[in-house]
Amino acid sequence: MSAVDLEHAAAEVRRLVGQMSPLGPREPASEDRIIEDLGYDSLAIVEMAMTLETELDLDRIPEEAAIDVVTVKHLEELVIGILRRREDAS
C-alpha cells in the first residue's frame, strides 16, 4: 500500500469524523480530540467506528482499539494499521 493510498485513507477518516461530529459538520485537524473537541460521546464513537468499517471497507475495528482512541490522529493510525495488516495478509 503506497504512501498516497495511506494518506488518502487518513484524509477519509478526517472527512468522516468531521462529517459525523455531534457539533455539526466541520473539518477536523489530526490533533483534535474526539470527545473534548469534536463533541463525540461513547455511542457516537461506536457509530463512527462502524461507519468507517462500511465506508472504507475495513475488517472489523476491535472494540478494544476503539476504546483507546483519543484524537483523530489515533483513529487515522488505527485505520492505517488495519489496512496494512490486510495487505500483509494478502
Partner 1 sequence: MSGVAAPAAAGWLASLEQLFAIPPEYRRLDAPRAHALEMLRCTEATLDALVAAGLPCEGPPGDERFDGNDLFNVALYSSSRASVPERAFQFVLRWMTDPSDSWFETRRWSFSLELTPDGRSGGASRLLLARPRPELLGGRLLDLESEPAEAAAREGDIVADGVDRLTLRGRIETTGARMALRSPRLRDIVEEFESTPYRWLKLPEQLQRQPERLLPHGVATCIAASLHLERRCHDAGLRARTRRGWVLGMLDLAHAWLEVCDDDGVVKTIDPIFALLSSLVDDPNPDFRTACRGSRLNRLLATDHRADEPLELRLLDGRSAPVRRKTVIRRDRSAS
Residues of the shown chain interacting with partner 1 in the complex, contacts defined by CB under 8 A: 35, 41-43, 45-47, 49-50, 60, 62-64, 66-68, 70
| Minimum gap (Å) between residue 85 Cβ and partner 1 | 16
Q: Which is nearer to partner 1, 6 or 50 (CB)?
A: 50
Q: Which is nearer to partner 1, 1 or 70 (CB)?
A: 70
Q: Which is nearer to partner 1, 11 or 70 (CB)?
A: 70
Q: How far apart (Å, rounded) are the C-alpha atoms in residues 53 and 66? A: 12
Q: How far apart (Å, rounded) are the C-alpha atoms in residues 43 and 53? A: 16
DSSP-assigned letters across all residues of 10-48? HHHHHHHHHHT-TT-S----TT-BTTTTT---HHHHHHH
